């Protein structure tokens, strides 16, 4: 409604390669950046900032899984395990080399997860669809077992590795020093700057040859092979990049929880990330973010509703509500996944596109 698309009238190659062809998206991004990095940290209170932290990390992981599932069409139920690899790698690097810069350790976690991800992506050469899903399920369980049974890495079954707090330069007692992050707001900046970098990287991948190869492999992989795309390398690259995102996400979780523990990265977590991608919309970065927000907020909203309504309408006290809550969470989580798949298989991103399309061509019904 602020502009009408009438055609593409580029007069130079530089014009064609521009990221934003019209001013509206650019201005929207500027406003969103201002809101996210200036308004929110100054005005929201601790509790909401901590929720936003979890949403941010989950969004990063969901973008990684969306690259693999939505853009390359490879089903992976092992995302949680790759996150665990990233978390443990970051934690162990910082444990063995305490003076190592923490952001390099985070990237190291990503690289480690990418290597493991590419290893478990090797079966994708021969199998696809359902069988690949089951093979990545095996990867998830094998990695969990491996971490539990490698005492040097994890301290044995159910052991945790303590992670040092990341530090950032700040004024301490009148001079510039490296202060460890303890406040939610400080983590907020770390997470959202990483998320912004992740989004820019992901959006740019799909402007390159590799990104278009991913989409070709998703749509018609046999035809892609015929026109000269090396399908195996493309699939391995997809697993690698997606696992890199997973590794960085795992490292961020390790920083947030201050420990690295395999219990935080079980099959349930993998399935939650799958749900984030599917509910949000496959093949869309915005979809990953919306899906992550939805899945992270669901238990919190659920908590409020069950305690509030239960207390008000049915006279439940806190204890009863606490026992009912996990069951309602499960029922709602499963029920909402099924509901979304029946009603809107293309996810929240499609819903958003439908709404913006309506306003874009308003007052006409179509253009």
CA within 13 Å, CB half, 106: 20
Residue 274 found at the interface with other proteins (CB under 8 A): yes
Q: Which is nearer to other proteins, 97 or 145 (CB)?
A: 145
Q: How far apart are CA 188 and CA 122, in angstroms?
A: 36
Give every CB contact of residue 118 below 8 A, 6+ residues apart in sequence: 236, 239, 240, 243
Phi, psi for 167 (deg, rounded to 5):
-115, 155
| CA nearest to 230, candidates 203, 209, 244, 245 | 209
* By the rule CB under 8 A, 51 interacts with other proteins: no
Residues 103-122 close enough to bind other proteins by CB under 8 A: 122
CB of 227 to other proteins, least distance (A): 11
Q: Does 214 bind other proteins (CB under 8 A)?
A: no
Of 138, 172, 301, 309, the one binding other proteins by CB under 8 A: 138
Picking from 234, 199, 237, the residue whose alpha carbon sits closest to that of residue 213 is 234
Window 314-343: residues binding other proteins (CB under 8 A): 324, 326-338, 341-342
Q: Backbone dihedral region of 258: left (phi > 0), alpha (psi from -120 to 50 degrees) or beta?
A: left
* Site size toward other proteins, by CB under 8 A: 48
| Token output for 173 | 């007692």
Q: Is residue 191 within 8 Å of residue 53, measured between CB atoms?
A: yes
Q: Which is nearer to other proteins, 15 or 317 (CB)?
A: 317
ω into residue 292 within 30 of 0, thus cis? no
The least distance separating other proteins from the CB of residue 274, rounded to whole angstroms, comes to 6
Does 297 bind other proteins (CB under 8 A)? Our answer is no
**Tokens, residue 18:** 């521009």
Site for other proteins contains 351 (CB under 8 A): no
CB of 217 to other proteins, least distance (A): 14
The reply to whether 156 sits near other proteins by the rule CB under 8 A is no
- Mask for 52-81, x = binds other proteins (CB under 8 A): -----------------x---x-x------
Q: Does 278 bind other proteins (CB under 8 A)?
A: yes
Could you tell me the smallest distance in angstroms from the CB atom of residue 175 to other proteins? Answer: 52
Query: Contact region for other proteins (CB under 8 A) — 142-150, 178-186, 292-300, 306-314?
Result: 142-150
Find the part of the chain contacting other proteins (CB under 8 A) among 53-61, 275-283, 293-301, 305-313.
Answer: 275-283
Q: Binding residue for other proteins (CB under 8 A) from 141, 185, 199, 201?
A: 141
From the CB of 142, what's the least distance to other proteins, in Å?
Answer: 5
Tokens of 211: 């990104």
In angstroms, what is the minimal distance from the CB of 158 to other proteins?
13
Under rule CB under 8 A, which residues in 251-270 are in contact with other proteins?
267
Based on the shown chain and the rule CB under 8 A, indicate whether residue 231 belongs to the binding site for other proteins: no
Q: Which residues bind other proteins (CB under 8 A)?
A: 69, 73, 75, 122-123, 126-127, 129-131, 133-135, 137-139, 141-142, 145, 148-149, 220, 222-223, 226, 267, 271, 274-275, 278, 282, 324, 326-338, 341-342, 345
């Amino acid at each position: 409604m602020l502009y009408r698309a009438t055609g593409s009238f580029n007069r130079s190659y530089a014009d064609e390669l521009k990221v934003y062809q019209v001013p509206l998206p650019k201005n929207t991004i500027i406003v969103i950046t201002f809101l996210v990095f200036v308004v929110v940290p100054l005005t929201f209170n601790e509790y909401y900032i901590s929720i936003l932290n979890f949403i941010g990390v989950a969004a990063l992981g969901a973008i990684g899984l969306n690259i693999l599932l939505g853009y390359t069409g490879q089903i992976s139920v092992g995302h949680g395990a790759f996150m665990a690899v990233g978390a443990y790698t970051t934690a162990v690097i910082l444990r063995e080399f305490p003076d190592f810069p923490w952001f390099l350790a985070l990237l190291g976690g990503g690289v480690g997860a990418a290597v493991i991800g590419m290893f478990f992506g090797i079966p994708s050469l021969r199998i696809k669809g359902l069988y690949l899903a089951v093979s990545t399920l095996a990867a998830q369980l094998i990695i969990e077992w491996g971490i539990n049974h490698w005492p040097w890495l994890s301290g044995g079954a159910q052991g945790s590795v303590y992670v040092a707090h990341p530090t950032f330069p700040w004024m301490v007692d009148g001079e510039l020093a490296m202060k460890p992050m303890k406040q939610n707001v400080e983590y907020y900046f770390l997470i959202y700057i990483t998320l912004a970098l992740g989004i820019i990287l992901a959006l740019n991948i799909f402007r390159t040859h590799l990104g278009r190869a991913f989409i070709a492999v998703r749509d018609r992989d046999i035809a892609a092979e015929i026109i000269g795309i090396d399908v195996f390398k493309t699939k391995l690259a997809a697993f690698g990049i997606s696992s890199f995102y997973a590794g960085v996400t795992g490292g961020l979780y390790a920083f947030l929880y201050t420990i690295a523990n395999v219990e935080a990265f079980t099959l349930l977590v993998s399935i939650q990330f799958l749900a984030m991608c599917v509910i949000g919309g496959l093949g869309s970065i915005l979809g990953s973010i919306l899906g992550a927000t939805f899945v992270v907020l669901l238990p919190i909203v659920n908590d409020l509703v069950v305690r509030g309504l239960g207390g008000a309408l049915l006279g439940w006290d806190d204890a009863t509500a606490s026992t009912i809550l996990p069951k309602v969470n499960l029922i709602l989580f499963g029920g909402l996944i099924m509901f979304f798949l029946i009603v809107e298989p293309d996810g929240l991103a499609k819903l958003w596109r439908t709404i913006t399309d309506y306003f874009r061509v308003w007052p006409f019904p179509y253009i």
